[in-house]
Structure 1
């Protein structure tokens, strides 16, 4: 400890080249400007020192409590200091730095993502990050792949009837006999209520939309843009929920949806409840109905 306290404080600025920590200690290999050569033949990525990452206090740093691991990727620019001073073998990463990348990743040279994935370079404006800010596009109010997918698969004109139409019959495994629900005559299409899946009211403005996006494309937004406040969680498949500025919520499941309540459940609808089933509808009640 005394040696650490007496060590000269030395900053570094570098690039992450490896995050596959074999000990799962939340470390990354960094190549530091001014300390390491860009020549990977002289200094391969595998010979770079492992850097410890200083996490925020929302991560306890013990027993898996909090959020882990870090969010750095190969190609991330970081700043920190060497705990061993001028020996420069024990780096501590304090944080990452967003910038504007103008050069594609060179997999043959140091100070780049060895896999060439970052910075992202694609033919689509909504996914390309070369020659523009590293700040998430949704946070800057720009079109993203998630938003485009959401609009593309938005459902329109879902039929729903105000009439008490036949929904099928209830099958019971107890002694009660199956019975059919009463059918009404007012099932003409003119009487059928139709609705569209609401469009997203999103109009995010920088810097009020706080965005978390994973590498595969899962997105979580907390948008504080004036008059357009939203909360949204979007799975890369297209399944999402979004809370609109007026408190309305849209939930869409791309495939199957299951809900399990181990206790009691209470549902109170103050207005009109409308349910559209385009296939069959089965209801099974073990007890009384």
Structure 2
């Protein structure tokens, strides 16, 4: 082989289903094979081996799979057996601009029928992407064989459009599979997306004459480049841009005077790229979905927004190196000066891209999974900003590996806000410790916000800093509630109210003091509606025990009532003492002495009479229209005028008249009328 020179060939791939899975293909070679398939059918062509690059070992499963060729690929190679031409070896491929539309009935063309191609890899017709958390919807070209259609509702340039399939541009009626079988090899499918009028029904077809399609594409074209071609009125192609060339071409570099290069926009590429599913639709969809993304603020509101940066897609021929697969996967290595990028894109528009400034964009149109069998380390010098429109569900330390730590090392605040709903912290087993200089809970609704502690013991240790609760209005609604503290202070600048549904017991091991300092309001009031009020001191000793009710300060009080083991003592220094029993009676019982002492007069009265002792000691006893002074005066007068008969006639003045007169004088000293 090669001693007498190589026998070269140029051919077109017609079959790649190698039964040995070695990447071999069947190629129809120009000058060696006829295009008449009745003379040399595709199945009679010899299998051609594929030469791989030196970067592929091609042995023991090591290397790169040599499966890049497809039906219709133009290849170049030589015959290993020379002029026998039965052992072709392919060295490479070559591109070009087809002069005619592919005919699968003739050789040197893609030999697959539409029925065969619909089961082969092919880029999606369109991708519909949403902002509601649902994965992207992939609309395949094979949908043309189904009796259904699709209406775009996502955030893409096709939003509001509906797909219709037809056999050509003029006929948008939905085709049927029987129109594209082997008996109709020349049939073509046209996919068109029209904006359906809002008043039209779901099955109403568009009026093509008055409605420009949002998208128009031929499906399963006979020529892989047909979707990129422009034809004249006679159907002759006047321009073609392969996918790889199209994605690599947005500008071309021309020469000016002095051989200085000048970058100029390529007119056809500029127009076609705007409708291309990667360069056009992807970029537009990206801007629709990921712009104006809200950030969290410190006050429970949004605090600014951000958007994805422009992708910088502006390739210049020949610097963008593109690998594009038949199902629509893409790899770009763009060396365009000033626009250097790297992009790895899945056919569904999920992609990873590095921008000219080194920024990275990861966009997943479906679900994303990140898995690691060991530790994950992340170090960020800048800010970390996240916006999750759906719910959050995090599980940490499921294998009890040790303590969990969150440390905010800077001086900034940490704000957690819940716009609507509850914020729950659940500790099934363990303690919850909050260490802070000040601790404050603020209700958001006046007279409605509540603070509840259920089945808990609140303990304050001997840290030297007592617990302090400050609130405008605070309500406690609990089952069992116990507060154990070395010192406890409750302070309210507004109102404070405690409601207990059953019994309430307050135990104080030391002293207990209640102060009402305000000069406004109703003072202090304790009410028991249905039962007795008992104030009890179990220590009866005077000075240390007993019950004392006092008005005024302790040392200069106005009035005081003392009840202890020595008895009951009541004193008032500034005001009156009033005992009023309007309906009942007043009974005073003394086992020994009964003493009533005052520096002013004493006056006991009822409706019939009264007893009065004035400041000079005079006593007035009145009752039933008279008084003791008057009665005693009458008695004294009767004694002074009293006579009795004698044999000598009425007796004279009593012999003890002086004593009677003294008695009369004493009456005026003791009693008053």
Q: TM-score, normalised by structure 1?
A: 0.83
Corresponding position of 2:87 = 90
- Contact 1:55/1:70 (8 A) holds in 2: no
Q: 1:266: Cα distance to partner?
A: 1.8
- Contact 2:327/2:347 (8 A) holds in 1: yes
- Contact 2:321/2:334 (8 A) holds in 1: yes
Corresponding position of 1:156 = 291
Which range moves more in the overlay, 270-279 or 214-223?
A: 270-279
- Contact 1:83/1:90 (8 A) holds in 2: yes
1:254 aligns with 2:389: no
Q: Distance in 2 between matches of 1:5 and 1:124?
A: 40
Which deviations, in whole Å up to 9, do the C-alpha atoms of 1:209-251 show, x marking residues without a partner? 1111110111010111101101101111111111111111111
Corresponding position of 1:175 = none
> Are the structure 2 counterparts of residues 223 and 65 from structure 1 closer, same or farther at C-alpha, using a change threshold of 3 Å?
same
Count of aligned residue pairs for this structure pair: 258
Q: 1:110: Cα distance to partner?
A: 0.4
Corresponding position of 2:277 = 145
1:276 aligns with 2:387: yes
- Contact 2:78/2:88 (8 A) holds in 1: yes
Corresponding position of 1:171 = none
Unaligned runs of 5+ in 2: 113-220, 231-236, 251-268, 405-673
> Are the structure 2 counterparts of residues 32 and 123 from structure 1 closer, same or farther at C-alpha, using a change threshold of 3 Å?
closer
Bigger RCO (CA 8 Å, 6+ sep): 1
- Contact 1:232/1:243 (8 A) holds in 2: yes
> Are the structure 2 counterparts of residues 124 and 195 from structure 1 closer, same or farther at C-alpha, using a change threshold of 3 Å?
farther
Unaligned runs of 5+ in 1: 164-185
**Aligned partner of 1:122 among 204, 209, 227:** 227
Corresponding position of 1:222 = 333
Give SS of 2:17's match: coil
Q: 1:120: Cα distance to partner?
A: 3.1
Considering only aligned residues, what root-mean-square deviation do their CA atoms show, in Å? 1.9
> Are the structure 2 counterparts of residues 239 and 206 from structure 1 closer, same or farther at C-alpha, using a change threshold of 3 Å?
same
1:21 aligns with 2:153: no
**Aligned partner of 1:234 among 336, 340, 345:** 345
Q: Distance in 2 between matches of 1:111 and 1:254?
A: 39
Q: Distance in 2 between matches of 1:158 and 1:188?
A: 14
Give SS of 2:227's match: coil
**Aligned partner of 1:44 among 41, 45, 48:** 41
Q: Distance in 2 between matches of 1:208 and 1:56?
A: 22
Give SS of 2:76's match: strand
Q: Distance in 2 between matches of 1:17 and 1:282?
A: 53
Give SS of 1:216's match: coil
- Contact 1:17/1:112 (8 A) holds in 2: yes
Corresponding position of 1:67 = 64
Q: 1:6: Cα distance to partner?
A: 4.7
Q: 1:77: Cα distance to partner?
A: 0.9
Q: 1:68: Cα distance to partner?
A: 0.6
- Contact 2:103/2:222 (8 A) holds in 1: no
- Contact 2:101/2:222 (8 A) holds in 1: no
Q: Distance in 1 between matches of 2:3 and 2:308?
A: 65
Q: Distance in 2 between matches of 1:30 and 1:201?
A: 41
Q: 1:264: Cα distance to partner?
A: 1.3
> Are the structure 2 counterparts of residues 77 and 201 from structure 1 closer, same or farther at C-alpha, using a change threshold of 3 Å?
same
Q: Distance in 2 between matches of 1:245 and 1:97?
A: 31
Q: 1:162: Cα distance to partner?
A: 4.3
Q: 1:278: Cα distance to partner?
A: 1.4
Give SS of 1:34's match: coil
Which deviations, in whole Å up to 9, do the C-alpha atoms of 1:160-195 show, x marking residues without a partner? 1143xxxxxxxxxxxxxxxxxxxxxx1234xx2211
Q: TM-score, normalised by structure 2?
A: 0.37
Corresponding position of 1:167 = none
Corresponding position of 1:79 = 76
- Contact 2:52/2:66 (8 A) holds in 1: no
**Aligned partner of 1:32 among 25, 29, 36:** 29
- Contact 2:58/2:64 (8 A) holds in 1: no
